[in-house]
Structure 1
């Protein structure tokens, strides 16, 4: 008789089983069972990504750029004071969920360019719990986006609403992960990121947060190298010990340029082409300032041809793409004369949006089940705290067992420790350990530092080499307990990769 070995259930399966057991225990409690059912269903939903930041950080603009359509209000209207969920749906629909009473549907209206107009129709924003916007979009099929009010807003209620959604006092956040936008690292930004880690119930880790240096084109005053300057600053932030312990990474993005690239209009392309046809000294003189671009002196206005957009159109261009977007477009049109579609693609690439989307895919998309399991386990903990029962002791032990024993959580804990530099490893070893446990992406090529298209043979050679090296380090008799524990986690990660590659 051949002996078979049963592989342990994955983290997602273990968590689902625990939720179902908890539902059996709390089946007679409508509030508890509703909460647990919600988290069981949440496993099958798209990832929930909240976009947070201070007022004027560019949250709604970046959300629109990620979706590729203008569906979030970017002005300082009443809708920006309300938490708004954007999710994929068969047709456009807006639901207003009041703090008291049933939800009601709002009228759906579009702008002349097809964007969405959200109007509370006289409802007091303080009486609204949230808005839910259904919008047919491929960009929302795998990730639901949640636009939050500005933190550190002049209106105390608005700021408190954002904080309560993102860092509730006694419950895990409704978001699986957070995209935190900042124009530069302000003390208020650091305090907010720290608030994720101040609450024991959150069991926060830097892996659930990505920081974005937003409005990156403004850092270089709209120069052609503005994004490069912003990327260098983001790189310095990534190596900052305090910040790296609070977020997964820092990415520089010019949201306005990304949005204009994804929603380029024909009249805008023609206007940019007219500007590109001007002598370089004229455009340089025009772009010395935003005011000069819209209202040039008479000596400069006389040199503008009939193909150059008028003052109101130039003003609209600035509002749509900023000085950097106009400069980048003119340079591209002069260099190789792209058509409208090609120019759109180049603007998106220049904005840093592609890099952000790649980071979201590797850091959040690939960790979807892990992030949702974490939220579900925290939900079970909350129920056990609020409604203690004799049968809850076993459930609590299983929650702790999963948190302590699941290798995915061990990787997160080690990642946080490595970034806080609390593990005594040489810098090169610490960097390799961070990569091997998924700090740069959870797929084997990213962990092994290989090209994404590397074949299985190359991956296997690399993982065997890494496994040998880290087993040797773990067995080193002079290594302390913290170092051995860290090496053991890295070894398990390598063994897991080797096992998957052998299948």
Structure 2
């Protein structure tokens, strides 16, 4: 089954069934129209997790204050549209969570520190039966990663190690596709760097090191001298960002553009954008279908009628046969360490179900002209693994999903 066309056809049937209900028609048409729109990506988190800061970092522009409510920020063509949401505190009203679920196709869930992170929002996302049957659509972002190591120069390296451990925790790996550390504050400052800020940093970098280094040991020491100039820099960059910027200027980043170009790759922003592309943008048809099915279910629950019985059956049929959803659930399991596969098989399974790109050559790890022989070899190998007594039941089920992906590749390669 081609998932998106089947879902659009089901929405068309629903429009006919509910043509006498303006509210249902408006809701269904909205979800149908969204198939032609950019992917909608909500940035969600509690207060002080840096949501609007991260949105500015991704978009490279200023946005409305988060207290103003949900704000859509347009992105370059083919990139997701960002949704900056109000702060979601523990015990948030279910309708608030449901509104975000209905507005967005995927979620970046920001946490300040994994040790005290509240994952209730992600659990609520998964409470709906359709959400459990469909694809996992969330990435957890350690959005203030530079704070995990006290602002040391190696803070992002330490944060990546923390993220790897956190990704493997049983609760976390069930709820998200990935865990990515980002210094949102520094990324935002770098992408919106002003000439005056660069000049202030360059002046600091010209200070003899023996005089400046003791001042960089803490925020309090840094602000003791010329707090009027240094305070705004600290607010924009944090101690980690100030230390990093000064180091890069001394190494030759002698223009605002050069400094920004050196800072951004060191913030984890590129890793986050890659995770968004790999998990969301390349899978946007499946994620938009997920949103549409959730939207259809809302209509079926809010306005039940006998004529809608075929719609409910069609919805169940799509969920039962949607291989794209199975691939995304398996990717989450593979990346979360839930499959007892050898490292080589683990990497191969992840690639074949689209973990490194959804084009046939990307799935098979070969050139365009080598697709046919490679897919036949993968079919042979994974058919054997799907029936192997060496595997446990969950591993055989995983192998069956990979085998189905190979069969679809073989069909396309004929």
Using the size of structure 1 for normalisation, the TM-score is 0.75
Matched, 1:323 2:243: no
Higher relative contact order (CA 8 A, sep 6+): 2
Conserved 8 A contact 1:36-1:380: yes
- More helix per residue: 2
- Residues 366-386 of structure 1 show CA distances to partners (whole Å, capped at 9, x for unaligned) of 111111111111222222223
- Residues 282-305 of structure 1 show CA distances to partners (whole Å, capped at 9, x for unaligned) of 221111111211214xxxxxxxxx
- Residues 351-397 of structure 1 show CA distances to partners (whole Å, capped at 9, x for unaligned) of 11111111111211111111111111122222222322333222211
Matched, 1:150 2:87: yes
**Following TM superposition, by how much is the alpha carbon of 1:214 offset from its aligned partner in structure 2, in angstroms?**
0.9
The 1:28–1:60 alpha-carbon spacing in structure 2 relative to 1, beyond 3 Å, is: same
Which of 488, 491, 495 is the matching residue for 2:400? 488
Which of 387, 408, 414 is the matching residue for 1:475? 387
**Following TM superposition, by how much is the alpha carbon of 1:188 offset from its aligned partner in structure 2, in angstroms?**
4.8
The 1:214–1:274 alpha-carbon spacing in structure 2 relative to 1, beyond 3 Å, is: same
Q: Which residue pairs with 1:313 in the alignment?
A: 229
Alpha-carbon distance in structure 2 between the residues aligned to 1:182 and 1:288: 26
Alpha-carbon distance in structure 2 between the residues aligned to 1:420 and 1:357: 19
Q: Which residue pairs with 1:359 in the alignment?
A: 275
Question: Which segments of 5 or more consecutive residues in structure 2 lack a partner in the other structure?
Answer: none
Alpha-carbon distance in structure 2 between the residues aligned to 1:274 and 1:245: 49
**2:102 aligns to what SS in structure 1?**
coil
Alpha-carbon distance in structure 1 between the residues aligned to 2:259 and 2:339: 47
Conserved 8 A contact 1:172-1:202: no
**Following TM superposition, by how much is the alpha carbon of 1:427 offset from its aligned partner in structure 2, in angstroms?**
6.4
Which of 73, 76, 79 is the matching residue for 1:138? 76
Q: Which residue pairs with 1:85 in the alignment?
A: 71
Alpha-carbon distance in structure 1 between the residues aligned to 2:321 and 2:314: 10
**2:315 aligns to what SS in structure 1?**
helix
- Residues 229-261 of structure 1 show CA distances to partners (whole Å, capped at 9, x for unaligned) of 111111211222321111100111111111111
Matched, 1:455 2:372: no
**1:366 aligns to what SS in structure 2?**
helix
**Following TM superposition, by how much is the alpha carbon of 1:493 offset from its aligned partner in structure 2, in angstroms?**
0.8
Alpha-carbon distance in structure 1 between the residues aligned to 2:85 and 2:240: 27
Using the size of structure 2 for normalisation, the TM-score is 0.90
- Residues 60-80 of structure 1 show CA distances to partners (whole Å, capped at 9, x for unaligned) of 10001111011132xxxxxx3
Matched, 1:246 2:163: no
- Residues 405-452 of structure 1 show CA distances to partners (whole Å, capped at 9, x for unaligned) of 12112323444555677766566545543442234543445544x4xx
Alpha-carbon distance in structure 1 between the residues aligned to 2:135 and 2:313: 25
Conserved 8 A contact 1:15-1:377: yes
**Following TM superposition, by how much is the alpha carbon of 1:198 offset from its aligned partner in structure 2, in angstroms?**
2.7
Question: Which segments of 5 or more consecutive residues in structure 1 lack a partner in the other structure?
Answer: 1-7, 74-79, 89-136, 297-309
Conserved 8 A contact 2:135-2:329: no
Alpha-carbon distance in structure 1 between the residues aligned to 2:34 and 2:326: 23
Conserved 8 A contact 1:220-1:226: yes
Conserved 8 A contact 2:135-2:287: no
The 1:266–1:425 alpha-carbon spacing in structure 2 relative to 1, beyond 3 Å, is: closer
Q: Which residue pairs with 1:273 in the alignment?
A: 202
- Residues 98-122 of structure 1 show CA distances to partners (whole Å, capped at 9, x for unaligned) of xxxxxxxxxxxxxxxxxxxxxxxxx
The 1:235–1:408 alpha-carbon spacing in structure 2 relative to 1, beyond 3 Å, is: same
Computing the radius of gyration over CA atoms, which structure comes out larger, 1 or 2? 1
**1:251 aligns to what SS in structure 2?**
strand
Q: Which residue pairs with 1:107 in the alignment?
A: none
Alpha-carbon distance in structure 2 between the residues aligned to 1:232 and 1:421: 15
Conserved 8 A contact 1:404-1:410: no
Count of residues in correspondence between the two structures: 414
